[in-house]
């Protein structure tokens, strides 16, 4: 933990002072088969979806922001949705849930092997990006711990994944995808459960809407300083954006995936309608300038927001005990 904190602090200080610049970490996967598959897959989606929809659809499914227009990138960043277009645990979780349910009916071992294969395929297609690597490590550790009956604490899971990725590349902590991936992951895995336990007690389970609201609020709290640091803009109603868009994310990814496998009018239309809905929601909220925070970029003081968040988390932990 101390190692991670020191590396992250040094990276942020060096970035702030200009000693280093934000690196553009590219994929390290070079298997021709995987690259060809990804290229063909993208082309099929691009040929089936309109120009405005294809960029965001590919961002959701592959964590690929290269097809997004500049204005749409700014809108998504301002309303706090950037963490949805990095290849993260949410994307991999959807894939793993389907895999485990399908192959787990055969045997526990079949479910484990199929899920691990899905993790490898996911990283192989996406590439060794910071967010995909984090998602893959966490998924593999969780799958193995569950299979062997081990109770892997959320805090340890976050720490192991952070340490492993930083050892691979010490500059990951100043990469936007890495930061957003870990922030949203930590929020959903650690902060959201404590909020639910505090408001509903240890025995009562909140409704689906309440769980989604808590998860959106948690993700917004932990990603806000990062978005302010890198973009200098954030909407105070970003929780609303997450609340309106997150429930349909899995369906959007599913229809986009099916369109990429076998282009057809039905799934392409459904994917386009959902993506267009997301764009309209984000654009509408972005236009509510009264709720928009604007500050100078690359100001490390925004990370002081984490101090009251940390204090609140400690209070929640003590209250639950």
pTM of the full structure: 0.70
pLDDT of residue 20: 55
How far is Cα 126 from Cα 35, in angstroms, rounded to an integer? 9
Helices within 232-264 (DSSP H only): 238-245, 249-261
List, as own/partner pairs, every contact residues 151-157 make where C-beta atoms lie below 8 angstroms and the sequence separation is at least 24, other chains included.
154/189, 154/190, 154/193, 155/190, 157/189
φ, ψ of residue 293 to 5 degrees: the values are -95, 130
Q: Which residues of 125-135 are buried (b: 16+ CB within 10 A; e: fewer)?
A: bbbbbbbbbbb
The two tokens of residue 9 are 């602090």
pLDDT of residue 159: 81
Tell me the three state secondary structure of residue 88: coil
How far is Cα 188 from Cα 138, in angstroms, rounded to an integer? 13
The two tokens of residue 158 are 């976050």
How far is Cα 237 from Cα 262, in angstroms, rounded to an integer? 37
pLDDT tens across the length of the chain (321 residues): 555 556 566 666 665 565 555 555 444 443 434 566 777 878 888 888 877 778 888 887 777 777 777 788 888 888 887 777 765 555 666 666 667 677 777 788 888 888 888 877 777 777 667 777 777 787 788 778 777 777 777 777 778 888 888 887 777 777 777 888 788 878 888 888 888 888 887 777 888 778 878 888 888 888 888 888 888 888 888 888 888 888 888 788 888 888 888 878 888 899 999 999 999 998 998 888 888 888 888 888 888 888 998 899 888 888 876
How far is Cα 207 from Cα 122, in angstroms, rounded to an integer? 31
φ, ψ of residue 250 to 5 degrees: the values are -60, -40
Tell me the three state secondary structure of residue 298: coil
Helix (H) or strand (E) holding 233: strand 233-235
pLDDT of residue 274: 92
The two tokens of residue 198 are 């505090």
Q: Which residues contact 174 (CB under 8 A, 6 or more apart)?
A: 11, 12, 14, 15, 20, 22, 23
Tell me the three state secondary structure of residue 292: strand
Q: Which residues contact 83 (CB under 8 A, 6 or more apart)?
A: 180, 181, 183, 184, 219, 223
How far is Cα 73 from Cα 85, in angstroms, rounded to an integer? 10
How far is Cα 276 from Cα 273, in angstroms, rounded to an integer? 5
**Which residues share a beta bridge with 234?**
293
How far is Cα 33 from Cα 45, in angstroms, rounded to an integer? 18
**Which residues share a beta bridge with 294?**
233
φ, ψ of residue 81 to 5 degrees: the values are -110, 5
How far is Cα 75 from Cα 274, in angstroms, rounded to an integer? 17
């Amino acid at each position: 933990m101390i190692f991670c904190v020191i590396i992250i602090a040094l990276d942020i200080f060096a970035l702030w002072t200009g000693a280093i610049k934000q690196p553009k970490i590219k994929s390290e996967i070079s298997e021709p088969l995987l690259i060809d598959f990804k290229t063909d897959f993208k082309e099929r989606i691009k040929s089936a979806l309109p120009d405005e929809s294809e960029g965001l659809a590919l961002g959701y499914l592959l964590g690929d922001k290269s097809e997004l227009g500049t204005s749409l990138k700014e809108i998504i960043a301002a309303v706090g949705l950037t963490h949805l277009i990095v290849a993260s645990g949410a994307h991999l979780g959807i894939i793993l849930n389907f895999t485990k349910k399908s192959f787990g009916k055969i045997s526990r071992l079949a479910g484990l092997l199929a899920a691990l294969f899905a993790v490898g395929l996911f990283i192989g297609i996406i590439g060794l990006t910071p967010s995909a690597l984090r998602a893959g490590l966490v998924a593999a550790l969780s799958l193995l711990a569950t299979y062997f009956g081990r109770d892997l604490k959320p805090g340890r899971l976050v720490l192991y994944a952070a340490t492993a990725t930083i050892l691979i590349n010490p500059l990951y902590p100043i990469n936007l995808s890495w930061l957003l991936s870990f922030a949203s992951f930590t929020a959903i895995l650690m902060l959201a459960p404590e909020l639910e336990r505090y408001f509903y007690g240890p025995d009562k389970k909140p409704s689906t809407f309440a769980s989604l609201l808590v998860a959106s609020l948690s993700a917004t709290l932990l990603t806000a300083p990062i978005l302010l640091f890198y973009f200098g803009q954030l909407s105070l109603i970003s929780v609303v954006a997450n609340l309106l868009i997150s429930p349909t994310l899995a369906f959007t990814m599913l229809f986009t995936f099916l369109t990429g496998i076998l282009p057809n009018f039905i799934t392409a239309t459904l994917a386009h309608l959902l993506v267009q809905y997301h764009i309209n929601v984000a654009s509408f909220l972005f236009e509510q300038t009264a709720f928009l925070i604007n500050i100078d970029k690359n100001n490390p003081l925004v990370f002081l927001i984490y101090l009251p968040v940390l204090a609140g988390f400690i209070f929640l932990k003590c209250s639950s005990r």
